[in-house]
Structure 1
Amino acid sequence: MAIPTIRVGLTAATRTMAGTSAVPKYSDKENGIIATDRETGEKLYTVMIFLMEEDRAETLKVTVPANGLPNGLKPGMPVKTVDLVARPWANLFNGQISSGVAYRVSALELDSGE
């Protein structure tokens, strides 16, 4: 069964900035196993980004494949998201439901402002 995804459209006025450096996304943190993309096998990383529009800002934790990370990415750098999608999720554990939205991009690009 395919995982439902929702393409996230950003306006021309939307600005995004890296809030953290890329950190490995673990499928098994205790054993140091980094999560990989199910289709490509590419290692996955997470980056916190700030999404700013007009008078508001949101923090998004996005998953990025290793080949989609720009060289030299540091907190505070302006970035562009490539193919930003949202994936709703829900889990049932010990009778309790937890749910949320996971964000993913195919790449982050450094934004020179041009």
Structure 2
Amino acid sequence: MVGNLPVPKYADAEKTQFAVDRETGAKLFVVTLFFMEEDRAEALKITVPETGLPNGLKPGVAVMPVELFANPWARIFNGSLSDGIAYRADRLDLVGGGTPTADAT
């Protein structure tokens, strides 16, 4: 389920230059998705090219990430290790007509 509207991804800390797909040149956006399974939910920030964002994308809408890829990363900054997983999808497909679920608020 979509948690927020797409937010532009920037290539620099000053937010003056959009991050773009290396192959297509499409602007990249970040969308928070909630993955729900039985009695738990997890929020994931997923990078998606502008060309992969469907019309009707809004909070509460059910979507299916297509070609979802998880890329583990790690870096040392000021002597401290930071690590995580970066998620990327080729596109998001609306599920069930793109209407919010009954219990989404």
TM-score > 0.5 by shorter chain: yes
Partner of 1:107 in structure 2?
91
Q: How does 1:24-103 map to 2 (within 5 A)?
A: 24-103=8-87
Q: TM-score, normalised by structure 2?
A: 0.86
The DSSP-based 3-state class of the residue aligned with 1:32 is coil
Q: How many residues align?
A: 97
Which is richer in strand?
1
Counterparts of 1:75 and 1:50 in 2: how far apart (Å)?
A: 10
* AA in 2 matched with 1:41: G
1:46: Cα distance to partner?
0.3
Counterparts of 1:64 and 1:37 in 2: how far apart (Å)?
A: 9
Taking a change above 3 Å as real, the CA distance of residues 31 and 57 of structure 1, as seen in their structure-2 partners, is closer
Question: Structure 1: which 5+ runs fail to align?
Answer: 1-16
Question: Structure 2: which 5+ runs fail to align?
Answer: 98-105
Counterparts of 2:15 and 2:38 in 1: how far apart (Å)?
A: 43
Runs of 4+ residues over 6 Å off in structure 1: none
Q: Which has the larger displacement, 104-113 or 59-68?
A: 104-113
